[in-house]
């Protein structure tokens, strides 16, 4: 039986992950519109990963006898005003999501819910990777973004990203 507060936070995270997917789909659309198709591809795959995260939370709740309550997903709240600022916002958003995962972990820890902590371990690691990836994009853009040839190469590199299903199976 999952503690009510932990269950509530897990349920809220379903919405947060779907919102992340929505936000990153908006990033993707923005880049395609700028003809930076590689960046568009990178964020389209990121959006797919966020949907996967949402579904993992739904599944975990379901595995514990809880029906996920689906709330409205907000429209993307960030006005996109440049290729660089999108990457900065991506990093900020991942740092925010990490803080949410840590909050759930904290709640699970406080009631000795070891099962939920173990489930969240995967997300703690995943967030570390996602923050690193987002930070790398920011740094690469700072290095290469102003030079058209280098930006083209970076766009090609990001265009090569392919979707991989999450390693966590519930
Ligand atoms: Fe699912 Fe990137 O947080």
Per residue in 5-63, pLDDT (tens digit) is 999 999 999 999 999 999 999 999 999 999 999 999 999 999 999 999 999 999 999 99
- pLDDT given at position 170: 94
Give the position, in ligand 1's atom list, of the atom nearest the Cα of 17: 1
DSSP the chain: ---HHHHHHHHHHHHHHHHHHHHHHHHHHHHHHTT-HHHHHHHHHHHHHHHHHHHHHHHHHHHTT-PPPP-PPPPP-PPP--HHHHHHHHHHHHHHHHHHHHHHHHHHHHTT-HHHHHHHHHHHHHHHHHHHHHHHHHHHHHHHTTSHHHHHHHHHHHHT------S---
Percentage of residues in the chain with pLDDT exceeding 90? 99
- pLDDT given at position 102: 98
Per residue in 48-87, pLDDT (tens digit) is 999 999 999 999 999 999 999 999 999 998 999 999 999 9
- pLDDT given at position 54: 98
Rounded to the nearest angstrom, the distance between the alpha carbon of 147 and the centre of ligand 1 is 30
Per residue in 77-136, pLDDT (tens digit) is 899 999 999 999 999 999 999 999 999 999 999 999 999 999 999 999 999 999 999 999
Rounded to the nearest angstrom, the distance between the alpha carbon of 97 and the centre of ligand 1 is 6
Per residue in 135-156, pLDDT (tens digit) is 999 999 999 999 999 999 999 9
Residue identifier of the C-alpha nearest atom 2 of ligand 1:
94
- pLDDT given at position 124: 98
């Amino acid at each position: 039986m999952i503690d009510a507060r932990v269950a509530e936070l897990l349920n809220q995270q379903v919405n947060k992950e779907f919102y992340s997917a929505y936000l990153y789909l908006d990033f993707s659309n923005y880049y395609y519109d700028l003809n930076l198709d590689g960046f568009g591809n990178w964020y389209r795959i990121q959006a797919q990963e966020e949907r996967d995260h949402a579904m993992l939370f739904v599944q975990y709740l379901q595995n514990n006898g809880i029906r996920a309550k689906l709330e409205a997903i907000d429209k993307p709240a960030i006005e996109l005003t440049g290729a660089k600022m999108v990457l900065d916002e991506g990093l900020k958003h991942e740092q925010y999501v990490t803080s949410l995962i840590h909050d759930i972990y904290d709640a699970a820890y406080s009631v000795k819910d070891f099962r939920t902590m173990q489930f969240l371990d995967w997300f703690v690691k995943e967030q570390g990777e996602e923050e690193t990836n987002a930070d790398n994009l920011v740094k690469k853009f700072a290095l290469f973004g102003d030079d058209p040839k280098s930006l083209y190469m970076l766009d090609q590199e990001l265009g090569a990203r392919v979707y991989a299903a999450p390693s966590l199976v519930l």
